Structure 1
Amino acid sequence: MKEINVQPPSGTRDFLSKDVKKREWALNMIKQVFEVFGFAPIDTPAFERIETLTGKYGEEGEKLMFKILKRGNQAASGETDLALRYDFTVPLVRFFAKYQNQLPRPFRRYQIGPVWRADRPGKGRFREFYQCDIDVIGSSSLVADAEVILALTRSLSCLGLPGYIVRLNSRRVLTGLLEAYGIPETSRQDTLTALDKLDKIGVSGVAEELKSRGLPKLVISQISDDLSQKDMGRIRDRAVISRIGQEGLQEVDEIISLVSLLMADGRIEFSPFMARGLDYYTGPIFEIYLKGATGAIASGGRYDDLVGKFVGGQVPACGGSLGIDRILSTLEVKNPNREDGLKPQVFVTVWDRSMRPEALQIAEELRNERIITEVFLEEGKISNQIRLASNRGAKYCLFYGPDEQTKKEVTIKNLSTGEQRSVSREKIAETLQKLVQER
C-alpha cells in the first residue's frame, strides 16, 4: 500500500482543540468590539467569478490569486472562471452593488472568515488564513477612517495586546512625492510596487527593484536617501510642493489628531513611504505593527473609486482588516479561561451495559443546565473510568450503579479532594450546578 502524506498542504494548518478554542475566544472578542462600534455582520461565498476579482488588486495581487479551473469536460481547456476570494473588500463591493437598495447609508459591516493567497509560506505567512474585516461604504468623512483604526486597535487592547504602532500614510502623499521626484505617471505604479516591498527587501532592495524598472539613477538616489533618513520635515517639504501632496498631508494630520488621544495602549505615526500594494487604495492607508509579530498584523485604507466600478459613479468607502492568524501564530494571546473550556466539568461513569440509558439521561439533565459533561463510552472497570476522568481534567465524577439505583441516589466524587457524597437522583443537576459555580 502506497504511503499517504498526512501533512496538510503547504501554507495551511490543522488546529488542535486548544487552538480552536483560543481562536474562537479571540474572534468572539473581536466581534464584540466591531458590534460596539456599530458594524453589522455579513457573509459572502468562499469563491467569486474570476471577472469580479481580476483587475482590482494590482500586479502582485493578480499573481497570488487561487484560480479555479472550469469543471467537467471543460477542465482540459485550462481555462478558469472562478477564484477563491483574495480578501473581503472586493466581495463586499460586489455584495453592496447587488443589495445597495436594501442597505443603510453609510453601510457599516464586518466579515470574519478565511481567505486564500498563493503566497510563499513562511513564519506568520499562510496560504489560507482568517481575516477580520470592517468597512464603511458611503462616507467621505475622515471620521470613518478614524473609526476603522480605533475599532481595530480596540480589538488588540481587548485581546491583551498593547504596545501597537499604527503607521499612517495617504496615497495622495505618495503621489505628491512621486511628482516631486519627477517620476512620470507611466512609472508611478511600478514605483509604488517597489516601495511596498520596503519591509521585505530593505532600502537597497527597493533601489535595485527601481533600477530594474527603468527609473533614472538620480531619482533612485533621491528616493534611497529619503528612505534612509529620519527627517520628516524634509520629506513633508518635498510632499507639499504639489497640491495633491498637500491634500494628503492634511488627511494624515487630521486622522492623527482624531485618534492619537484615544489610543491608550499604542501610538500612531506618519510613515510617508508606506504604500499598501493593492491598486484600489485612493486616500489614507495604514498598517498596524506589534512587537513580536511577523510583519503587519492589520492594515487598510480608503478606496473611493472601487465601488464605482460595480455601481457607476463614485461611492466613498474605507476599511481595515485584522490578521488574526498572524497574531495567534506568533504571540501568546492572554485568555486565562481557554483551557478550562476544553475540559469536562463532570464525568459520568457507566456501571455496565444495563446502566447506559440512565447514564445518558443524567448527562442530558446536566447538559440542559450548561454543565460540560462527558459520558464513558465503553465498558470497563470503574477504577479505569475514574483514571480517565482525572486525565481528562474533570472536576467531578458520578457513579450510578445498582446500589444507587435502589436508593434513588447518585454518588458524586470530587476528583481534587477525593471527597464523596450521595445526593437524591432527582436533585443531581441542581446540586452539581451549585458545585460547579462554587469552584
Structure 2
Amino acid sequence: MVAVNPPRGMRDFLPADKARRERVLALIRERYRAHGFDEIETPVMEDHARLHAGVGGDNEKLAFNVMKRGISAETLAATTDAADLADLGLRYDLTVPLSRFYASHRGELSGVFRAVQIAPVWRAERPQKGRYRQFMQCDIDIMGDASSRAEAELISATLDVLDALGLSGASVRINDRRALDALLDVFGFPEADRPGVLITIDKLDKIGPSGVAAELRERGSAASSVDALEAFIAGFEKPTDPFGAAQIRALLPAGIPDEIVEHLVGIGEAVSAARGGAPLEFDPFLVRGMGYYTGTIFEIAHPDVSYSLGGGGRYDGMIGRFLGQDVPAVGFSIGFERIVDLVQIADDAQSRSVVLVHDKDVPVAELLAHKARLVADGARVRLEQRPRNLKGVLDRAESDGYTSFATMSAGQDELEIKPLG
C-alpha cells in the first residue's frame, strides 16, 4: 500500500488533537481579550517585496514565494532571480502583515491599538522534530505607545495566559538592542560589523564564551575587541538582586545610556505592581535574531523546559516603512507549538458527550428526535450504526473524547446512557 502523507514539514491533526489545540487557543484568546487586546485577521499572502524588505532576518530566506501568473516557459528558463518570478509570498511571521495592516487602517483604529493575531505561518525550514514548515503563531502587539507601559502590558498579559494554561512559574529574560549596541561600542566593534557580531553572540548558549571568541576572530574582528568581550562574558554571573537599576548597572559596562536603564526599570516596576512581583531577569547577552527589533527584547523561560516558550520585542521602525511615518510598536509571541503539548485543558463538553449506537432498522425520524433531545440538553452526540464488533466503535469513540454511550432499537422511548471505559 502506498503511503499518502501530507507535505514534508506539515501535519494532519486527528479529531482529539484538533480539539485539544482548539481548547488551548480558546483559552489564549479569552485571556488576551480580558487584557484589552482585539483580534484581527490578515491575508496568508503579502507582496513579495514587502516580505523581502530586509526586516525579517533569515526568515526572509525561508519564505515560500508564489509565482506570477502567466509566466512563459522561456522566461522561466532564463530567469534565476525569484523577484522576477514571484509577486506574492506566504507570510513567514505575523509582524510584517500586522505592520502593513496598521498602515492600511490607521485612521480606523484607536490611537494606541492593542492587537491579537492567531494564525498559521509558513517557512521553508528543513523539517525535523519540533520544526515545521507550517505552524501556528499567537501574537499580541501594541502600536502607538513608546512608553514602558506597552512592554509591561504585554509581559503581564502573557504571563497571565501561561498561568491559565497551567504553566505558572515562568520568568522573562529581558534586554535592549540599544544596550547591546552600546556594549559593542564600548568594546570597540565597528558599527558595520555589529550585525554579524550579534549573530555570533546569539550562539553563546550553544558554543560558550571561547566558541564566541573563536568565531569572532575567524570573522576578522579586532583582537582587542574580542578579548574585551570574552573577558566580560567569562566574568558574567547571573543576577541575584531584585530586578532594578542596580542589577542592570552591575551587569553592564560603564557608558550605557541612562534612558535605556530607566526604560527597563519602568517595565519591571509596572510588571511588579501588576503581579505582586517582577519575574524578570536582565540578560545582557539576549539578542533575538529578527532584524526589525529596535529596543527592548524579551523571551519566556520556564523551569520545566530548556527552551524558550516565546519572545518578542520593540520594532519602532517597521510601520514607518509602509506609512512613511514612524509609529512605536512592540509585540510578544507565544510559542504555541511548543506549549500545546505541555498543557492539558479539560473539555467541559466531554462530560456530556454521547455515542448513540442504533440498530439498522431504526427510522431516521426516531433517531434524530432522540439526538435532538440530547443536544438540547447540552450533550455532544455522535450517531453510529451498530456493528458486529461494538467494542471497536466504543474504543474509537473514547479515543476521540466521548465519555458515554447509549444503544437504541426501533420504537425505543427511553435511552440508558452508560459511561465508556
RMSD: 2.8
- How far apart are 1:237 and its partner, in Å? 6.3
> Residues of 2 paired with 1:355 and 1:395: CA distance?
23
CA contact (8 A) 2:42 2:101 kept: yes
Which residue does 1:423 correspond to in 2? none
Whether 1:60 and 2:61 are equivalent positions in the alignment is: no
> Residues of 2 paired with 1:24 and 1:411: CA distance?
31
SS in 2 for 1:167: strand
CA contact (8 A) 2:117 2:139 kept: yes
> Residues of 2 paired with 1:215 and 1:56: CA distance?
24
Amino acid at match of 1:18: A
Q: 1:392 aligns with which of 375, 378, 397?
A: 397
Which residue does 1:12 correspond to in 2? 10
The verdict on how the C-alpha distance between 1:295 and 1:390 changes in structure 2, with shifts beyond 3 A counting, is closer
CA contact (8 A) 1:170 1:251 kept: no
CA contact (8 A) 2:60 2:92 kept: no
Which residue does 1:186 correspond to in 2? 192
Whether 1:103 and 2:109 are equivalent positions in the alignment is: yes
Which residue does 1:42 correspond to in 2? 40
> Residues of 1 paired with 2:96 and 2:311: CA distance?
15
CA contact (8 A) 1:135 1:320 kept: yes
Q: 1:327 aligns with which of 333, 339, 345?
A: 339
Whether 1:348 and 2:356 are equivalent positions in the alignment is: yes
> Residues of 2 paired with 1:125 and 1:103: CA distance?
35
> Residues of 1 paired with 2:151 and 2:247: CA distance?
26
> Residues of 1 paired with 2:384 and 2:375: CA distance?
15
The verdict on how the C-alpha distance between 1:368 and 1:184 changes in structure 2, with shifts beyond 3 A counting, is same
TM-score (norm 1): 0.83
TM-score (norm 2): 0.86
Q: After superposition, give the CA deviation of every residue in 1:294-338 in whole Å (9 maximum; x if it has no partner).
A: 521111111111111111122111111001101124x2x132x24
CA contact (8 A) 1:303 1:318 kept: yes
Which residue does 1:410 correspond to in 2? 414
Q: After superposition, give the CA deviation of every residue in 1:162-198 in whole Å (9 maximum; x if it has no partner).
A: 2212100011111110110111111111112222233
The verdict on how the C-alpha distance between 1:237 and 1:267 changes in structure 2, with shifts beyond 3 A counting, is closer
- How far apart are 1:391 and its partner, in Å? 5.9
Amino acid at match of 1:395: S
> Residues of 1 paired with 2:248 and 2:172: CA distance?
19
The verdict on how the C-alpha distance between 1:346 and 1:235 changes in structure 2, with shifts beyond 3 A counting, is closer
SS in 2 for 1:162: coil
> Residues of 2 paired with 1:181 and 1:225: CA distance?
11
Amino acid at match of 2:410: G
Report which of the two structures shows the higher radius of gyration computed on alpha carbons. Answer: 1
The percentage of counterpart residues that share the same residue type is: 37
Amino acid at match of 2:55: Y
> Relative to structure 2, which stretch is displaced further, 294-303 or 224-233?
224-233
Q: After superposition, give the CA deviation of every residue in 1:30-88 in whole Å (9 maximum; x if it has no partner).
A: 11111111000000111211111112435423222222333443573452222211111
Which residue does 1:230 correspond to in 2? 236
> Residues of 1 paired with 2:68 and 2:380: CA distance?
46
Which residue does 1:362 correspond to in 2? 370
Which 5+ residue runs of structure 2 have no aligned equivalent? Answer: 240-245
> Relative to structure 2, which stretch is displaced further, 299-308 or 350-359?
350-359
Q: 1:314 aligns with which of 309, 318, 326?
A: 326
Which 5+ residue runs of structure 1 have no aligned equivalent? Answer: 418-439
SS in 1 for 2:4: coil
- How far apart are 1:19 and its partner, in Å? 1.9
Which residue does 1:275 correspond to in 2? 287
Whether 1:256 and 2:264 are equivalent positions in the alignment is: no
Task: Show the 5 A alignment for 1:101-180.
Answer: 101-180=107-186
- How far apart are 1:354 and its partner, in Å? 5.1
SS in 2 for 1:20: helix
Amino acid at match of 2:408: F
The verdict on how the C-alpha distance between 1:64 and 1:58 changes in structure 2, with shifts beyond 3 A counting, is same
Amino acid at match of 1:392: A
